[in-house]
Chain A
Amino acid sequence: VFAIRMPERRTRTIKTDILARVEGEGAMFVKIDDGRVIDVKLKIYEPPRFFEAFLRGRAFTEAPDITARICGICPVAYQMSAVQAMEQICGVEVDGQLRALRRLLYCGEWIESHALHVFMLHAPDFLGYDSVVELARDEPGLVAQALELKKTGNQVMSLIGGREIHPINVRVGGWYRVPRKSELAPLVPRLERAREIALETVRFTSALDFPDYEQAYELVSLSAPGEYPIDRGRIVSNNGLDIDISQYDQHFVEEHVPWSNALHSRLRERGSYLCGPLARFALSGDNLSSAARAAASEAGLSATERNPFRSIVVRGIEMVYAAEEALRLIAEYEEPDTPAVEVEPRAGVGYGCTEAPRGILYHRYELDDDGTILDAKIVPPTSQNQRTIEEDLRGVVERSLELSDDELSRRCEQTIRNYDPCISCATHFLTLEVERS
């Protein structure tokens, strides 16, 4: 009998049981054996919420308000994808000022959501703080500006949407009530101020220390001629994908993995991909306003930025853009004759896809001829980014093995927050897998 003496192996496990500063409940697990990452899991254990199931049997007009409840941070995204799909089924086009108001509402959500993430959730990672409270003690002026920015986003939501969280004014076909031009005027100085704060945000974030890490992502976003994508477009990627949103299911597939209550998405042909600010910026950066473009080049961003840690800068750029776009929409606003287009239900299948702050949000509905929802499918951006988050964790850990377990754990959390994951959004899915032995 003999034994082979193995060289001493060192196994390290890096885990966080409850991820802080993300929306929803998740955990992280990384196992390293002998300098090799052998297991990476982003565990989403928040229980599924079955939104797709309880949409069945409801009226098509209810979808925007029901799905808005999926998220308190990005309810507008849900409303916008839902109304788009319903209007497509019913053969209605919502354009002109009715559409412009939708884009304006969405700008409010981008500002509100990005301000929250950049300052409250993500910036502490870069500065070595445990929370924004410590940041507020050292940089009260900065945090006060962040709150002001967020408040401006909320004010846009309140004025256009009727409420800052889960707006109540959105309907299939348009709005319940449209604002008078004079009602929008008070937003102008606030948005001008928001633009200035956003520009300072870009300067502040671009001076942070970024871990040296890049990945050859497939970047996926909406794209519309001459527009920075928010409320409509085709789905495109830097690897040549260019499809109508109705073809989504032919190109993207969702899969269940045992460690997550949120389905993982992948491109059928090529696997993981990334959606969100980095993708929008890479694919439509040319369509940003000139001030946003100038800020991006001053910040040293590449045209196709592949360092996910720099997403914090891109969120700043997008806030500059959202403030300017909101100002443009207000300047060009003329009160429409009617708040909504008449919509008659009819049977069919329709698709909606818009750019939530975190990336593309896809909806598909099937209606019967009286407008009852027969089937619903919703794919939020966090589901789509899960595989990429895990690949980033693997890559980041492999390049950072010299860090202590504690430092490595912090670096991993920072990596996850690059995606501003909304776990609550991602766990609405229907499939419940029961394992029996």
Chain B
Amino acid sequence: VHLVRDALPHTRGRAKLKVVGIGNAWRSDDAVGLVVARRLREVLPGSVEVLEREGEPTGLIETWADAEALWLVDAVSSGALPGTVHRVDASHDELPEQFGGGSTHHFSLGEAVAMARALGRLPDHVVVFGVEGERFEIGDELTPEVAAAVPVVVAAVRDEVRRPSD
């Protein structure tokens, strides 16, 4: 007997899907997660909840605790070229350190994900998109390289959200 789990492909139609863009709107490239979230809200079906958050970790955990599949978009500073798009599947593994570590006021996005996992509050499917930023000083504009990455991330998240679950 050949047992196949979820043998028939089904769309994520009935699962609770969430996209959370994280960032500070007044810190230049740090806002990229918010910008991506706003674009995604226009292109994704209304059944997908698209949220914008500043990144306070305990609040984030509350935000996604009830989701079944989750996409997070945040700015990253890892030394790569500005505008580089990183994609990490965090469903099973922790995030690299450079994710969301830009604040000493609270812990990072990586820690928020790890803590949620420890508490059983992490959705089964978690993908994090990190966009490499260049400037994080006060300002309300993205650098051109980072702005150019926005449609790339929007398309990637849109495709993944629409794709049948595997």
Chain A positions within 8 Å of B, measured between CB atoms, are 18-25, 72, 116, 120, 131-133, 136-137, 140, 143-144, 147, 150-151, 154, 165, 424
Interface window among B3-11, B68-76, B103-111, B152-160: B103-111
Q: How long is the Cα–Cα vector from A19 to B62 in the complex, in angstroms?
A: 27
Bound Cα distance A132, B108 (Å): 12
Q: Tell yes or no: B119 within 8 A of A by CB.
A: yes
How far, in Å, is B54 (CB) from chain A's closest CB?
A: 8
A131 touches B119 (CB 8 A): no
- A25 vs B56: C-alpha distance in the bound complex, in angstroms? 17
On whether the beta carbons of B61 and A147 are closer than 8 Å, the reply is yes
Contacts of A140 in B (CB 8 A): 118-120
Query: A72-B105, A131-B107 are contacts. A144–B115 as well, Cβ < 8 Å?
Result: no
Cα distance A147–B104 in the bound complex, in angstroms: 20
**Residue of B56, B58, B111, B120 with most partner-chain A CB within 10 A:** B58
Q: How close is B111's CB to chain A, nearest CB, in angstroms?
A: 5
What 1/0 mask marks residues of chain B from 109 to 152 whose CB sits below 8 Å from any chain A CB?
A: 00100110011100000000000000000000000000000000
Q: Given that A133-B111, A147-B61, A151-B62 are contacting pairs, would A23 and B119 also be in contact in the complex, using a CB cutoff of 8 Å?
A: no
Residue pair A24, B120 in contact (C-beta under 8 Å): no
Closest to A22 in B: B104
- Complex Cα gap A136–B119 (Å): 6
CA distance A136 to B61 in the complex (A): 13
CB-based closest 8 A-B pairs: A136-B118, A137-B118, A133-B114, A136-B115, A133-B115, A140-B119, A133-B111, A23-B105
B105 A143 Cβ-Cβ under 8 A: no
Complexed CA–CA distance, A309 and B166 (Å): 51
CB-defined A-B contacts under 8 Å, sample of 9: A22-B104, A133-B118, A136-B115, A136-B118, A140-B119, A147-B58, A147-B61, A151-B62, A165-B56
B107 touches A18 (CB 8 A): no
A143 touches B119 (CB 8 A): yes
Q: In the complex, what residues of A have CB within 8 A of residue B115's CB? A: 132-133, 136, 143
Total interface residues in chain B, CB < 8 Å: 15
Q: Which residues of B contact A (CB under 8 A)?
A: 56, 58-59, 61-62, 104-107, 111, 114-115, 118-120
Bound Cα distance A188, B115 (Å): 28
- Say which residue of B58, B114, B120 sits within 8 Å of A150 (CB atoms): B58
B104 near A24: Cβ-Cβ < 8 Å: yes
B120 surroundings in chain A (CB, below 8 A): 140
CA distance A20 to B106 in the complex (A): 9
Find A132's partner among B56, B59, B104, B107 (CB 8 Å cutoff). B107
B56, B61, B105: the one contacting A24 at CB < 8 Å is: B105
Distance A19 CA – B118 CA, assembled complex (angstroms) = 25
User: Which of chain B's residues has its CB closest to A141's CB?
Assistant: B119
Q: A132-B107, A143-B119 are in contact. List 10 more A-B contacts (CB 8 A).
A: A19-B104, A24-B105, A25-B104, A116-B58, A132-B115, A136-B115, A140-B119, A143-B115, A144-B119, A165-B56
- Contact at A18–B61, with CB atoms within 8 Å? no
B56, B59, B62, B111: the one within 8 Å of A131 (CB) = B111
Bound-complex Cα distance A59 to B114 (A): 45
Shortest beta-carbon distance, B118 to chain A, in Å?
4
Q: How far is the CA of A132 from the CA of B105 in the complex (A)?
A: 14
Contacts of B61 in A (CB 8 A): 147
Most buried by A among B56, B107, B114, B118: B118
CB of A20 within 8 A of CB of B104, answer yes
For residue B59, which residues in chain A have a CB less than 8 angstroms away from its CB?
154
Cα-based distance from A133 to B62 in the complex (angstroms)? 16
